[in-house]
Structure 1
Amino acid sequence: MAHAPAWSAVDDRVMGGVSASQVETTPEGLVFSGVVSLEQNGGFASIRAQPREYDLAGATAFILRVQGDGQAYKFGLRTDDAFDGVQYQARFSTQAGEWLEVMLPITDFQPTFRGRVVTEAPALDPARIRSFGFLIADRQAGPFRLVIESIQARF
């Protein structure tokens, strides 16, 4: 991924859960992996890129090239630098061990706050995107692994 930002893991530990994830750069791509636990009201793991300026005005979709494990993930976009604010999310499925190209139209992104849809939030404005990330939160305990080869905006 050209001009790759710094990434960090944000798991349900921020609210008392015990899920754990990591993110690392490997020759095959960015690897998001770990274990989701439902203990102590947990159930999610995520990674996010550090906020910065992007030139995404006019973007109509994002295209992800990923290799998953058969589980569903979400791609999230943030329009501010807040740690705990509204995030626009779009869900995508993976097939175990298969490389997939996933297209997520801007219109598929739903505004959410802590996993719940926010009905009064404005529609996603690509010009305001400051950060992005990946999330697994399907209420299924166990290991996961997602390899991200590329993230591209379509205009």
Structure 2
Amino acid sequence: MITQNTTTLYDFNTKSQANDWLVVDDVVMGGQSDGNFYIDENGHGVFEGTISLENNGGFSSIKHECQTIEVKGYSKIRLHVKGDGNTYQVRIKNKRDNYYSYTAYFQSDTNWGTIEIPFEALLPVFRGRDLDLPNFQGETIEEVGILIGNKKAQSFKLLIDKIELVK
């Protein structure tokens, strides 16, 4: 859907289940964090759970692989979210097979709000380490995700209404 220089990348209000999103926790490397993702009765994606630092853990994430989306002509990604005051990362892959993601941090608020992240602010990162590669060039997107990993044990809850591209 195109509206006033935006294109909707994902609208949770049009879905009844979240089966095209995958939760990836630190359990893949022995950790004990526990994230969950579902669509609530109001049509919002809900990413919630607990972060544990046990066994060198400390993160939970969700990701959505999509068909290749041409994003030339767009300059930012926009998230409509309501959070818990925690810091999260938005993560993009221009090629789903890349070992790294382009990431940027955002601070959530306990009220509904809009987070806009310019493409050039998305830095290449692998396992929490910055890479010596160019920032996101804004050509294609094949995966979008959100991660929480603030180096502390904590509960979290982030509601997502929709994700858009902005010209």
Distance 1:91 1:46 in 2: 13
The answer to whether structure 1 residue 140 and structure 2 residue 152 are counterparts is yes
Q: Which residue of 2 aligns with 1:103?
A: 116
Q: Which residue of 2 aligns with 1:91?
A: 105
3-state DSSP of counterpart to 1:124: coil
Q: Which residue of 2 aligns with 1:49?
A: 64
1:2-56 CA distances to partner (integer Å, 9 max, x unpaired)?
Answer: 6768101001111110101011112241111110000000000000002422131
Distance 1:76 1:52 in 2: 16
3-state DSSP of counterpart to 2:70: coil
3-state DSSP of counterpart to 1:85: coil
Q: Which residue of 1 aligns with 2:3?
A: none
Q: Give the residue type in structure 1 aligned to 2:115.
A: V
Structure 2, unmatched stretches of 5+, are 1-10
Structure 1, unmatched stretches of 5+, are none
Q: Give the residue type in structure 2 aligned to 1:126.
A: G
Higher strand share: 2
Matching of residues 12-91 of structure 1 within 5 Å: 12-26=26-40, 27-82=42-97, 85-91=99-105
Distance 2:121 2:65 in 1: 23
More displaced 10-residue stretch of structure 1: 21-30 or 107-116: 21-30
| Aligned-residue offset at 1:114 | 0.9
| Aligned-residue offset at 1:74 | 0.4
C-alpha contact 2:120 2:137 (8 A) present in aligned 1 = no
Supply the RMSD in Å over aligned alpha carbons.
1.7
C-alpha contact 1:28 1:147 (8 A) present in aligned 2 = no
Q: Give the residue type in structure 1 aligned to 2:124.
A: P
| Aligned-residue offset at 1:70 | 0.6
How many residue pairs match? The answer is 152
Distance 2:46 2:122 in 1: 23
| Aligned-residue offset at 1:123 | 2.9
Q: Percent identity?
A: 32
C-alpha contact 2:121 2:135 (8 A) present in aligned 1 = no
Q: TM-score, normalised by structure 1?
A: 0.91
Moved over 6 A (4+): 2-5
| Aligned-residue offset at 1:68 | 0.3
Distance 2:88 2:165 in 1: 18
1:74-101 CA distances to partner (integer Å, 9 max, x unpaired)?
Answer: 000011222x711000100012x21111
